[in-house]
Amino acid sequence: MRHTIYHIIMSMLLLCAAPAAMAKDFTVVIDPGHGGKDAGALGTRTNEKTINLKVALKLKEMLEKEMDDTKVEMTRSTDVFVPLQKRADFANNKHADIFVSIHANSISSKSPMHRKINGAAVYTLGLDRSDTNLSVAMRENEVMKLEADYSTTYQGFDPSSTESYIAFEMMQHKNMDQSIALAEAVQNQLVRTAGRKNNGVRQAPFWVLVRTSMPSILVELDFICNPTMETFMASDAGSTKLARAIYNGIERYRNASGVTSKKYPAHKRAVKPVSTPEPEPECSSDETSPSCKPADASAIVYKIQFLTAPTVIRQGDKRFKGLKDVESYRDGGAVKYTYGSYPSVNAAASDLKKVKTKFPDAFVIKTRDGKRIK
């Protein structure tokens, strides 16, 4: 008997100890852009691959030393060539909670702004039709041409042909909300902590971001073609500030999205809606139930949110999958698309079911004056 009790106690202790032993709840994959035969953009004294790695290694150290329960995986820790597809595969295999690709920007030496342009920008996946954003992605995607069998690996994709990018328009990153939240947090800190000019959160079709299945961003620290910015990024103090900025951004993102729970790692929760409003008693205008507040309720409308995109999509677009009279509202850097308007959550239920057959992640939101409220 005593033996049995001993066993029960021991197994309870082991059960309690188990989560602690495997607790590394938050996995960050840091992806220092370029490497090896691919130097990335060139400065006058150094190159992009060197700056990216320096900042990435500092960020790794900060995360490992200072952020609780955080595991860091690097797509490269030395000066080696890693194909784009392998970087994304790596992050997926590690079940990363977030993917942070680090780069330095550059523009053509023919541009009169070549030595003057400056500022940081954080990108999420998307097809922005502006030439500037597309050209940044084209330059970063160009590295796939350094692989002998690139046209097989990337399914005939030609990084330097504008037509190739049309297919990207159909791609919806399922973690777009979280990616934008992370991008905004990091961008903010690149300005506040690292003193960079704010070039904003942007969207562009980066191959490495298409293939990742977790919230993913690509950071362009600053412009290496501007000698002053190059000196800053290459310096010890500068690279430390940049790493600190990304660290602070990740920390704020993590705090804001509550990704601290040991039970529900972010990569598992990411596919679910950020929040679903609590059901409220159904009210109609001629009802005077004490649980209804007609004055407030008249202004509140429930809608079915089914899609997030970086840009405005026109009515009748294929991406709406046949849904008509779609409405939208802006939220941070994204445009959120909604269907229908209902006086209550319950009233939206049967349409929600229908919308979910086309958009499984659709959920009901509460709005007032066309804006989401919580």
Name which of 40 and 310 has its Cβ closer to Zn ion: 40
Instruction: List all residues 6 or more positions away from 274 whose beta carbon is below 8 Å from its beta carbon.
Output: 177
Cβ proximity of 128 and 204 under 8 Å: yes
Q: Which residues of the shown chain bind Zn ion in the complex (CB under 5 A)?
A: 33, 40, 103, 140
Q: How far is the CB of 156 from Zn ion (least distance, A)?
A: 23
Q: Based on CB atoms, which residue is closest to Zn ion, 40 or 43?
A: 40
Residue (117 or 345) nearer to Zn ion, CB: 117
Q: Toward Zn ion, which CB reaches closer, 53 or 245?
A: 53
- Is 140 or 177 the residue whose CB approaches Zn ion more closely? 140
- Judged by beta carbon, residue 103 or residue 196, the one nearer Zn ion is 103
Between CA 276 and CA 268 the distance in angstroms is 17
Q: Where are the strands (E) in 18-114, listed by range?
A: 26-32, 70-74, 98-105
Smallest separation (angstroms) from Zn ion to the CB of 227: 18
C-alpha 355/C-alpha 309 separation (Å) is 17
Distance CA 18, CA 308 (A): 38
CB of 97 to Zn ion, least distance (A): 23
Nearer to Zn ion, 90 or 339 (CB): 90
Q: CB of 233: closest distance to Zn ion in angstroms? A: 12
- Give the nearest distance from C-beta 51 to Zn ion in angstroms: 10
- Computed from CA positions of residues 307, 312, 315, 319, in that sequence, does the dihedral angle turn out positive or negative? negative
Q: C-beta of 333: minimal distance to Zn ion in Å?
A: 21
Q: Give the residue closest to Zn ion by C-beta.
A: 103
Which residue, 349, 310, 344, is CA-closest to 328? Answer: 310
DSSP labels for 125-190? Answer: E-----HHHHHHHHHHHGGGGGSTTHHHHTTT--TT-GGGGGGGGG---TTHHHHHHHHHHHHHHH
Minimum CB–partner distance for residue 122 and Zn ion (Å)? 13
The half-sphere exposure of 84 on its side-chain side, counting CA atoms within 13 A, is: 26
